[in-house]
Amino acid sequence: MSGDIVVSIVGGGGGIVVSTDNTSGDIIIAPENLGGDIIIATENGGPITVDINYTGPQGPQGPVGPPAPLSWEYYASNWSAPPAQVGTTAQGVIYSHILGSITRYRFIPTAYSAAQDAFYSDLALTALIVARG
């Protein structure tokens, strides 16, 4: 196997194998779970270590991160049933916003302030989801 090069990921849960036979000049790369260090073992000496941070395709072709949080504008303009007033406080009015099977609560202050116009996941208004301002 003279001339073969094998590259593998250490601690990355998989590897990349790169090989050539020095006759055809073809190089074959088989990626698997990219990330971590690449160690290249040479035929005549010690390994060469290369740090790699791989960002591959997202979506159906690769891993995805957590979804971006939805905006105040999204919650304010999307619902399955029209918002309904469910309570009042000395500071403002509370509306239920149902989207799909989830109920969220919007607080609109009487003395309007965008920083206080907000959506909560509970009627007690303790679990803030997003504020307008």
> What is the pTM for the complete model shown?
0.52
Q: Return the bridge partners of 105, or none.
A: 96, 120
The residue ranges of every structural domain in the chain are 6-55, 72-131
pLDDT digits (tens, 9 = 90+) for 9-65: 444 444 445 554 455 444 444 444 545 444 555 566 655 554 555 555 555 555 666
